[in-house]
Structure 1
Amino acid sequence: MQTDPRGSRLAAALTSIVLAVVLRTGNCPLLATQALLSALGAFGGLRVALCVRLCQVLVLPRLAPPSATEDERPLRLDQGVLMVFAAVGALGYCTEVTWLGVLAASTALTVAFVHAAFGYCVGSELYPLVRRAQGRLTAGV
């Protein structure tokens, strides 16, 4: 499935704002909600990811068509990375292990901000490594 990369970058910008608020306030429920939203994108695809869907419905129709599209699978992996760090951060904040919450939320913020600001998707870098590892696992079975 191909997708407009501008939608995922706008969603990453919204995610960055949410994560910055979490770091400022230490709000565990907000970070847990972000983890759930990222899980929707990772497991259900970008069509069900709330932030991406909002961008696709509200913003992208007002813009010119994209000059290029990109594969959805690395973006879903990126959502999975965000989900893991947001979940660990929520666990840290909720159990009052604040340093863990700050560390995980900061890492998630870095991943989202770099994608939004520079178009550097961590999932796009990890995806070929994961595919190669999957090939080795199936070849060894």
Structure 2
Amino acid sequence: MSTVARPTGPAGPAGAVPSRPRGIDPRGPQFTAAVTVVVLVAILVLPTPAAVVLTAVQAMFFAIGATLGVQRTPHAWVFRTLVRPRLEAPAELEDPAPPRFAQAVGLVFTLVALVAFGLGWTTAALVAIGLALVAAVLNAAFRFCLGCELYLLLKRIA
């Protein structure tokens, strides 16, 4: 006679149906970072009026990721709908909190850029975008998330 292990703990009492995993596919934030790289490079090369509009759009994307969660961004929808079905299942899922924090950091940089653009400080705006670009490139190319690392460092300190 075989026995079946029943979930206990966070999924609920014995015999309960396990809840859906709370983690995210780690390739999703990497895909989002790749799209963000394209947007940020466009901001750096476009004339100022178009750069301001694109910065505002990117700030909106970061705000969605920071407030609603990285799973609810337009980039995540594209990944989930068009990219993810073509990939094998991930080896493991990742906690969405660090990428969500990273989105908040990106939001800060784009808001600084928007304020700088508004004050006519184009160079300062482009530096803020350039710093966000460095972080996005690291995530897109090497899956090294600076904002995630900052989140983990702050969590250790707290």
**Higher RCO, 1 or 2 (CA under 8 Å, sep at least 6)?**
1
1:112 aligns with 2:133: no
Q: Sequence identity, in percent?
A: 36
Point out the structure with the larger helix share: 1
Structure 2 spans left out of the alignment, 5+ residues: 1-21
Q: How many residues align?
A: 134
Which secondary structure does the structure 2 equivalent of 1:96 belong to?
coil
Q: 1:130 deviation in Å?
A: 2.5
Superposition TM-score, scaled by structure 2 size = 0.80
Superposition map of 1:89-108 within 5 A:
89-108=113-132
Equivalent position of 2:9 in the other structure? none
- 4+ runs deviating over 3 angstroms: none
Q: Which residue of 2 aligns with 1:47?
A: 71
Shift of 1:128: 2.3
Mapped contact 1:31–1:89 kept (Cα < 8 A): yes
Distance apart, 1:95 and its partner CA: 2.6
Structure of higher CA gyration radius:
2
Alignment of 1:21-36 (within 5 A): 21-25=42-46, 26=48, 27-36=51-60
- Mind listing any 5+ residue stretches in structure 1 that lack a counterpart? 136-141
**Taking structure 1 as the reference length, what is the TM-score of the superposition?**
0.89
User: Is the 8 Å Cα contact of residues 46 and 53 (structure 1) preserved in structure 2?
Assistant: no
**Please, which of 130, 136, 141 is the counterpart of residue 154 of structure 2?**
130
The Cα RMSD (Å) is 1.3
